[in-house]
Structure 1
Amino acid sequence: MEQLRDEHRSADRLARQGLTPSRTGLFTGPPGVGKTLAARWLADELKLPLLVLDLSSVMSSYLGRTGGNIRKVLDYAKSSPSVLLLDELDTVAKRRDDMAEVGELKRLVTVLLQEIDDWPSGSLLLAATNHAELLDPAVWRRFDLVVKFPLPGPAELEEALLHYCGNEAPSNIDFLARILQGSSFADAERFVMTARRKAALGGDRTFDVLLSMGQERLAQMNHVERLQVALDLVQDGSLSQRRASELTGVSRDTIRRKQRADQEQ
């Protein structure tokens, strides 16, 4: 992301070497992991307007009009330097060997590919998809850069939770990060905002509500999943066996036996 920014900031240096900045970038990953936020960040860093086109919103019931709609938007974006984000790219740029798709939609993919090929170097064309596996193979080759946005791990979730909680972050934020494993940043933000609203309505501390919600979520897990959460918390030094047992409901003996067994393997 930083290199993409720096290429456009220093286009003159590239030009002296006979090079141009990357014109196009493809962001892939599940919902809520920061693809749109990254586009906003780039536009802000480059001091360019951000234009966002949700391709699912321009899919006309009369498919012949959709190609014209997309051309109009792209022509407008080309008229002056900007950052254009084509969201939900898979809505249009589906595999052309998919027999379930009508011929008109396949022609629409061709229109989109032609427009990407003609994109001017002074602007930046970004596209985002939650379903990379649906994209036509020819689409991948059109993008100068592909950035994969994975789901956050425990460390990233902990950092995000601290950010969303602000001064109201509970001391056992690592416990919540383990509980939310497999969630996106957007999921984590919703979790915290729900807790803050519940706390405000009930006159409780956000600290207490967050831990209560975390334990409610933990209660929905099976024993094996809860044991793994307890082991993770103990093994990374976040909590003692006793505190991990209190939070997860898994006995200290079970945690101790499992740790011993893992060490012997």
Structure 2
Amino acid sequence: MAVKGTTKDDFVHLARIALSDRQQDVHTFLQRIAKRTDDADLATALVELLRKRPTRSSALRRAPAIALPVDTDTRFQLLRMEEHPVLPHEPIYSEVVRGLLQRLIDERFRIDALVQAGLEPTKTILFTGPPGVGKTMAARWIARELGRPLLILDLSAVMSSYLGRTGTNLRHVLDYAKSLDCVLLMDELDAIAKRRDDTGEIGELKRLVTVLLQQLDDWPSSGLLIAATNHAELLDPAVWRRFDELVEFDLPQREAAKAFVNSLLQSVSPNAGDWSDVLSIALAGQSFSDIERKLNSARRSAALNGNNLGDHLASLLQVSDHSKRDRIDLAAQLVSTGLVSQRRAHELTGIARDTIRERLRSATDQGE
């Protein structure tokens, strides 16, 4: 019986991709039929099958058994697989970024609602922002929340010593990722997706951009490709247009820095809350990786010298570029919470001890 809204060629195409074991393409084709058909029962049945997604478990079961693609010259693996992504701590993002990331998760768990509305879930995402702001961790978080393995593309490995083979390497990697139900992270996208009008790049590298554009256009809706770059200005304009979603990661401001410092100090300092409050003043605007590096350095120094951790945390309070009023408030806060003495607060902030005492009395009189 013919299905209204489809043609004989549609079913020939379905048979062809099914026989070639292109499961992701079958999934995409069935989504298209569900949207086009006027048969409500058929659409409902297809949506239910897509919602259950029977290919997910089978893809995950066989993923470890499929050899990762390698460079034909060096035999080095072109991908790293994290079958069960693990995060060192929960990521801390702005409300806008967290909302976008959560929506990506919700799309995958409510795919039936999208299909019924004639839509597909987000397939390709571009993460932009300076180094150390959590782009890679966000990819791990998404993979963990979806219960999928994370594949990480090492672009330096893809770049073969024989440039003519680099395009082949890239195709192998992306075809492999398409065959699995996974999250693919393509880090440092600008390494291969530079502007094609850049006169400093040779023709082979420019052809890589064309290969990438073709792959992005053909990415299956059942998969998720995340690309990340620290240098968005280097990307070819055509690359931007190929991504379904753009997520911009900014350097953490005070509230984000405070929450991050608190999460790192909770298990090692009884005064984690007080320290996170004062350190956020000095550390706001620095990347998460820089903040973590400084805190770990302070912890190592305390452990090696047998000193109180607070003495080393206090050394992170470089606030000479802050206004005098902010430094007075910080000095008073350091003393009122018992984190340091008045003498040490003076050394750290440059605020006279008499001024600190006056600020503390004023706060007491006002009931702060």
User: CA separation in 2, counterparts of 1:74 and 1:93?
Assistant: 15
Instruction: Give the structure, 1 or 2, with the largest relative contact order (CA under 8 Å, sep 6 or more).
Output: 1
Asked whether the 8 Å contact 2:328–2:355 carries over to 1, the reply is no
User: CA separation in 2, counterparts of 1:230 and 1:71?
Assistant: 58
What pairs up with 1:8-47 in 2 under 5 angstroms? 8-47=108-147
TM-score normalised over the length of structure 2:
0.62
Report the equivalent of 2:205.
Answer: 105
Which deviates more, 144-153 or 200-209? 200-209
User: CA separation in 1, counterparts of 2:112 and 2:265?
Assistant: 43
What pairs up with 1:32-181 in 2 under 5 angstroms? 32-167=132-267, 168=269, 169-170=271-272, 171-181=274-284
The counterpart of 2:305, out of the listed 195, 202, 206, is 202
Shift of the 110–252 alpha-carbon distance from structure 1 to 2, 3 Å rule, reads farther
SS in 1 for 2:323: helix
Percent of aligned pairs sharing the same letter: 55
User: CA separation in 2, counterparts of 1:62 and 1:229?
Assistant: 59
User: CA separation in 2, counterparts of 1:252 and 1:110?
Assistant: 65
Report the equivalent of 2:296.
Answer: 193
TM-score normalised over the length of structure 1:
0.85
User: CA separation in 2, counterparts of 1:172 and 1:233?
Assistant: 17
- Cα deviation, residue 115, structure 1: 0.6
Q: Which amino acid aligns with 1:214?
A: L
User: CA separation in 1, counterparts of 2:194 and 2:351?
Assistant: 47
- Cα deviation, residue 228, structure 1: 2.6
Asked whether the 8 Å contact 1:56–1:88 carries over to 2, the reply is no
SS in 2 for 1:126: strand
- Cα deviation, residue 178, structure 1: 2.0
Report the equivalent of 2:316.
Answer: 214
SS in 1 for 2:119: coil
User: CA separation in 1, counterparts of 2:328 and 2:259?
Assistant: 16
Q: Which runs of 5+ in 2 are unaligned?
A: 1-100, 359-368
Asked whether the 8 Å contact 2:153–2:184 carries over to 1, the reply is yes
Shift of the 251–10 alpha-carbon distance from structure 1 to 2, 3 Å rule, reads same
- Cα deviation, residue 232, structure 1: 6.6
Shift of the 254–205 alpha-carbon distance from structure 1 to 2, 3 Å rule, reads closer
User: CA separation in 2, counterparts of 1:154 and 1:7?
Assistant: 31
Shift of the 162–233 alpha-carbon distance from structure 1 to 2, 3 Å rule, reads farther
Report the equivalent of 1:263.
Answer: none
Report the equivalent of 1:260.
Answer: none
User: CA separation in 1, counterparts of 2:157 and 2:306?
Assistant: 42
- Cα deviation, residue 181, structure 1: 2.9
Q: Which amino acid aligns with 2:190?
A: D
| Deviating 4+ runs (over 4 angstroms) | 237-246, 251-256
SS in 2 for 1:66: helix
Asked whether the 8 Å contact 1:230–1:248 carries over to 2, the reply is no
Q: Which runs of 5+ in 1 are unaligned?
A: 257-265
Question: What do residues 40-87 of structure 1 show as CA deviations (whole Å, max 9, x unaligned)?
Answer: 111111111110112133212321111111111111110021100000
Q: Which amino acid aligns with 2:276?
A: I
User: CA separation in 1, counterparts of 2:218 and 2:328?
Assistant: 52
Report the equivalent of 1:231.
Answer: 326
User: CA separation in 2, counterparts of 1:208 and 1:252?
Assistant: 19
Report the equivalent of 1:262.
Answer: none
Asked whether the 8 Å contact 1:11–1:21 carries over to 2, the reply is yes
Question: What do residues 175-200 of structure 1 show as CA deviations (whole Å, max 9, x unaligned)?
Answer: 32222233111111111111111111
- Cα deviation, residue 16, structure 1: 1.2
